Structure 1
């Protein structure tokens, strides 16, 4: 009886649990050459920021962490002047050897996610990397910060390419399925954790498939899976060998019969 009551209580709690407003799932931002349907850059990932804010809402006053997930937005032409992805830029040559490409995803009421990549090479980039990641959030946005007492528009960033460690070669995509974490910060602001997974970036390619550079986390995951499989296979083979030897030995003992004395 007690088990049934506990089970019902857990079931009711699960039914009353609030579903997240924005599931942490993969979104794809394709940027097109202006006036065409040809992709000039693709940015695909599942991304989530954890932003703390303070409330003055009676008994619930205090600090709350809100999860802000990157939402799906309609595709836009690069170098446009308006729209959800309108500030994104197609690959552009600065001096025939230095290239730049950027994603700018604007959503909700003042939130903005920016990734900036640079490449080097004559005529086209032969290598590229993400140089910086920026995130802007509006503390007055009641969708994400209901009951909040903040009034600022806050921008945090990470501008160290080695810490970001997102890079690729000529016409190459960057792939990272494993969850990775970065921290964005700014002077006088609370550091904001940023998690991403299921990433496939091609800031300097017009294809969403092809050669990919894998992140170190995926490489380590593949290695960690290979070792147990190899060990399991070896143990399975050894067990099979012992079983065969046992059956052969048993059959030989039966065939020999009893000795006459």
Structure 2
């Protein structure tokens, strides 16, 4: 009779939500809440669990953390280059250092190659080399202290087989009354696709292309800037549909070479937003766990007052 009573009054509890002693506890809780908890559990397993999994899988898409080059091959070139932080110093006409920049940087440059017969999109990945390897400071570099309204201060690094790859950091200097401040106008890379060291049998219609990106780096004084964070900047071109990705870290820009540096102590824009989806998913799961624990505690307290005799 008791088995018939349980079959009629209490609906069967889903197997995927009960096991061992935990299943017995849930069975007691079921006596208290009837078929309410089994429906919640069934609904969660059948409907919300796939949603949680799907949201977790889509989190990188929602935050923009996707691999743009999933469908193409990545070529790591420039293996002979020295990875790591390198320092580049601009000197004035008298040979006195006037600006110093240090960073560890690398580039991801997509291009069309004919190496496999038919045109294929490849991505060349290579570092910004140091001055002791295959890079040098261009004479086009300008000390920020000598910058004019039409010509900003800039560091120009030449590298590649014939020094035909050109990386530039442009620095604007501003006068606010008696105070001097500065900002980085942009990063740019002039890509020479004819350099076979980085681009194997390139089939690009143009021999070179300029890619540029504005960045938010500034100081309200003559102090320099330093930041160890890993950063990613997308450089675009007015004539190309492809973008160049610049990855850098351990950045130091001392535009007046005075040795006074201000550290970046705030996260870059977008980093906080990138954690919103994982935090929301975790909070939802924590809330569900809290609901089950509260219901279990109520059941234990009720069972002490009468248990099965009162049912």
- The answer for the alignment partner of 1:186 in structure 2 is 237
Match of 1:47 among 105, 122, 142: 105
- The answer for the alignment partner of 2:153 in structure 1 is 101
Deviation at 1:123, TM superposition (A): 9.0
What TM-score do the two structures reach when normalised by structure 1? 0.63
Match of 2:114 among 53, 56, 70: 56
Unaligned runs of 5+ in 1: 1-16, 75-82, 222-261
Secondary structure of the structure 2 residue equivalent to 1:71: coil
How many residues are paired up?
189
1:217 aligns with 2:271: no
1:195-206 matches, cutoff 5 A: 195-203=247-255, 205-206=256-257
By percentage of residues, which structure has more strand? 1
By percentage of residues, which structure has more helix? 2
| Cα distance in structure 1, aligned partners of 2:197 and 2:182 | 36
Quickly say closer, same or farther: Cα 1:122–1:57, change in 2 above 3 A: closer
Task: Tell me how large the CA RMSD over aligned residues is.
Answer: 3.2
| Cα distance in structure 2, aligned partners of 1:73 and 1:23 | 10
Quickly say closer, same or farther: Cα 1:153–1:93, change in 2 above 3 A: closer
Segment of structure 1 superposing worse, 112-121 or 18-27: 18-27
1:111 aligns with 2:161: no
| Cα distance in structure 1, aligned partners of 2:171 and 2:179 | 11
Unaligned runs of 5+ in 2: 1-75, 273-311
User: After superposition, what is the alpha-carbon deviation per residue over 1:106-140, rounded to whole angstroms, capped at 9, x for unaligned?
Assistant: 11132101111112126986211001111111111
- The answer for the alignment partner of 1:85 in structure 2 is 138
Deviation at 1:213, TM superposition (A): 3.7
Q: Which has the larger radius of gyration?
A: 2
| Cα distance in structure 2, aligned partners of 1:48 and 1:215 | 24
Deviation at 1:212, TM superposition (A): 1.4
Match of 1:127 among 170, 178, 181: 181
What TM-score do the two structures reach when normalised by structure 2? 0.53
| Cα distance in structure 2, aligned partners of 1:165 and 1:18 | 30
Secondary structure of the structure 1 residue equivalent to 2:267: helix
